Amino acid sequence: MSRAQSRAYGEGASPLIVPYEASPLHFTSIFGNDHPVTVEIGFGMGGATASLARTNPEKNYLGIEVFKAGIGKLLWEIRKQGLSNIRIMEHDAVEVLEHSIPAQSLGALHIFFPDPWPKKRHQKRRLIQGPFAELMASRLRAGAYLYVVSDWEDYAKKTLELLSALPELENPYPGFAEPLEWRPRTKFEKKGLEKNHRVYEIYLRKRKGI
């Protein structure tokens, strides 16, 4: 962690960090308004989070990350840019989704470049697997979207297959989505692009009336 990030992080005591508790969060009290909430899992250094929050002040962003240097960096950006619509949880996203995010509460869920775990024997560590896919879908409101981006072909294909099989989600695209021009490039993405990786976009919506 750089000195600025470490100062911003301040032993995790920032009021912008929401402590993990195994009980449902009350978003209106956390953000001080009832704007729709986007959860971003694994924001890394938080560049995309800060950029989206700046351009969408009418939305709230809850970033979930376990990487301290990234949390410090995002806290520093929030202060530098004077952003009031971001909160952070420093905890495992699976537990947060399961215990802290109420069912049918989110306007959107972003996962940009989840750890690819390319080796066959490590693939069970991948974040997006069957039960977690169902959990994610259950946290979205009707009409909300789930947006996953990866530069790892087999992970992206499996994720698309898994999510497309969920009856409560619908895919407005025939398969992978067109690149959405509003999505900022992330740090991890830039590294992949330097190695000529292809980027796969997955964008599904929660059906209404389910």
Ligand X SMILES: C[S@@+](CC[C@H](N)C(=O)[O-])C[C@H]1O[C@@H](n2cnc3c(N)ncnc32)[C@H](O)[C@@H]1O
Contact set with ligand X (CB under 6 A): 41-44, 64-67, 70, 92-94, 112-115, 127, 186-189
Please check whether residue 159 is in contact with residue 128, taking contact to mean a CB–CB distance below 8 angstroms.
Answer: yes
Phi-psi bin for 40: left (phi > 0), alpha (psi -120 to 50), beta?
beta
Select 93 or 202, whichever has its Cβ closest to ligand X. 93
CB nearer to ligand X: pick between 183 and 206:
183
Q: How far is the CB of 124 from ligand X (least distance, A)?
A: 13
* 1 versus 94: smaller Cβ distance to ligand X: 94
Nearest approach, Cβ of 44 to ligand X (angstroms)?
3
Active site members: 115
Would you state the structure tokens that stand for residue 147, as one six-digit string?
């947006």
Q: Can you tell me whether residue 70 is helix, strand or coil?
A: helix
Report the alpha-carbon distance of residue 178 to residue 191 in Å, rounded. 21
Give the residue with the Cβ less far from ligand X, 1 or 207. 1
Cα within 13 Å of Cα(166), Cβ side? 26
Alpha-carbon distances, residue 45 vs 10, 97, 210 (angstroms): 17, 21, 35
Among residues 90, 82, 9, which one has the least CA distance to residue 1? Answer: 9
Which residues lie below 8 Å from residue 107, measured CB to CB, with a gap of 6+? 36, 37, 38, 59, 141, 144
